[in-house]
Structure 1
Amino acid sequence: MKLAGLTVAYWCVLVASLLPILCAGLAKWGTFSRPKREGGYDNNHPRQWLEKQGGWRARANAAQANSFEALPFFIGAVIIAHQLGAAQLRLDVLAFLYIVLRLLYIMMYVADMATVRTLVWVLALVANVAILFA
């Protein structure tokens, strides 16, 4: 299936590419209106500011890093599957499943549900491997 000339799987690549930005925004949520001296976001030194965060903000930032780490394999798997002529419906469903699992992963990470988060991470990895061999 194509939408605006792109397959669903390629749209999923776009969504996966935006997930780290979503995580970064989540880590910074609600801090823009506070002054820097009161812990508000410091756009002059964003990495140092994030290093000082704890709790769910630190976990959202860690989810951002993991989302960047997972991205190349997903992009490569989708491109390779397309190049090898994978069944489009299977590829689209697997790519969509991967996105759903990555969203769940981010939610579990921020919620500090480590065991469930790890299980979801493994399922997303399995979905990604399935895309590669679709």
Structure 2
Amino acid sequence: MAIAYGCVLIAALLPYIWVVVAKTSGQRYNNRDPRAWQARQESPVCNRANAAHLNSFEAFAPFAAGVIMAQLAQVPAERIAVLSVAFVVLRVAYGLLYVGNRHLLRSLVWTLALACVLALLVMAMLGVATAAP
């Protein structure tokens, strides 16, 4: 499970990577009022990086829950690890595609990452269902 847990850690850090990109690609950052600063930004890269930042927070909770649920349901660790690595790779690609303004490919990658999360959740559900007396 070390691989899957490592992926959870990486996924937890991804929002902060994208916010650093946002804060370094706009006008001089103002830490006294960061939300108002972001609202004033006209840089498309800054705004897309901020959107990737927010979306990374949205994607994290279901992924982390999926990993934990799959482990509790005794889904084989190898399956959990493969889906976890795929999720992280896809989410990194998602952020890069978002910042790079590749919207169609970004949406495809987002869908594939969501499929990884759904697979973890479904495997957990089926694992619990088959383990019940």
TM-score tier (shorter): 0.7 to 0.9
Q: Does 1:77 align with 2:77?
A: no
CA distance in 1, matches of 2:71, 2:6: 13
2:40 to 23, 46, 52: 52
**Aligned CA-pair RMSD:** 1.2
CA distance in 2, matches of 1:30, 1:23: 11
CA distance in 2, matches of 1:110, 1:52: 18
* Equivalent residues of 2:25, 2:46 under 8 A apart: no
TM-score relative to the length of structure 2: 0.87
* % identical aligned pairs: 40
Cα distance, 1:133 vs structure 2: 2.6
Amino acid paired to 2:80 = L
The residue number in structure 2 matching 1:87 is 76
The residue number in structure 2 matching 1:132 is 121
Please, which runs of 5 or more residues in structure 1 have no aligned partner? 32-38
Structure with a larger share of its residues in helix:
2
* Equivalent residues of 2:4, 2:67 under 8 A apart: yes
The residue number in structure 1 matching 2:16 is 21
Please, which runs of 5 or more residues in structure 2 have no aligned partner? 124-133
Runs of 4+ in 1 over 3 A off after TM superposition: none
CA distance in 2, matches of 1:104, 1:61: 15
TM-score relative to the length of structure 1: 0.87
| Greater CA drift, 45-54 or 110-119 | 45-54
Report how many residues are paired: 122
What pairs with 1:92-107 in structure 2 (closer than 5 Å)?
92-107=81-96
Cα distance, 1:30 vs structure 2: 5.7
